[in-house]
Amino acid sequence: MTATALSVRQPWAWGIIYGSKDVENRTWWTRYRGLLLIHAGKRCDEYAMKHGFNAEERPGRFYTSQWWFPAGQARSQCGGIVGRVELVDCIQNSRSAWAEPGLWHWILQNPEPLPFRPLPGRLGLWQAPA
């Protein structure tokens, strides 16, 4: 049995599961709707890890306000499944503070942490062992 998964760099994967990140920005649209495992990629977004991020204070493309996530936990949970969400829509005009202009906004709801499970990631939507 498998489940649909999406790889996301840390600390964004942490923000989806434990924070308020309700939109994942992508350059491509998907027709998939339903449960989606969130895989924290092996590589981190070093800028966000260093400077922190917060959707409420966005001076530009990067989020430069206070840390609101445990950097050690986000860094230690790379290269595996960290949780699951429900992908409910894929639009280009989300009003979420996390939505980046010009990209597809994957609307996420009901985040649920799962025990960290090491697993290689992939590009795009992929099937992970359940």
Q: What is the separation of C-alpha 26 from the centre of its chain, rounded to a whole number of angstroms?
A: 11
Q: Is residue 60 part of a domain?
A: no
Q: Where are the beta strands (DSSP E) in the chain?
A: 2-10, 23-26, 34-44, 80-91, 104-118, 125-129
The model's confidence at residue 72, banded by pLDDT at 50, 70 and 90, is: low
What is the average pLDDT score of the chain? Answer: 83
pLDDT tens digits, one per residue of 7-39? 998 888 988 998 888 999 999 999 999 999 999
Instruction: Name the residue range of residue 110's domain.
Output: 2-46+75-129
Dist. CA 120–CA 56, nearest whole Å: 32
* pTM of the shown model: 0.83
Q: Which amino acid is at 4?
A: T
For position 28, what pLDDT does the model report? 96
pLDDT at residue 75, rounded to an integer: 62
- Determine the Cα–Cα distance for residues 126 and 81; give it in Å rounded to an integer: 12
Confidence class for position 74, pLDDT limits 50, 70, 90: low
* Overall number of domains in the chain: 1
Given a contact cutoff of 8 angstroms between Cβ atoms, the answer to whether 40 and 8 are in contact is yes
pLDDT at 33: 98
- Proportion of the chain in helix, strand, coil states, percent, rounded to 5: 15, 45, 40
| 84 found inside a domain | yes
Closest CA to 36 of 59, 65, 7: 7
Enumerate residues 6+ apart whose C-beta is below 8 A from 66.
52, 54
The encoded tokens of residue 36 equal 């989606």
Q: Is residue 51 part of a domain?
A: no
Tell whether 68 is covered by a domain.
no
- Residue 29, in any domain of the structure: yes
What does the pLDDT average to over 81-106? 95
pLDDT for the residue numbered 52: 59
Is there a domain that residue 80 lies in? yes
Q: Which amino acid is at 2?
A: T
Model pLDDT, residue 14:
86
| Residue 12 is assigned to a structural domain of this protein | yes
Q: What is the pLDDT of residue 77?
A: 79
Over residues 84-94, the mean pLDDT reads 97
Q: What is the CATH number of the domain that holds 98?
A: 2.30.130.30
- The answer to whether residue 42 scores a pLDDT higher than 80 is yes
89 in a domain, yes or no? yes
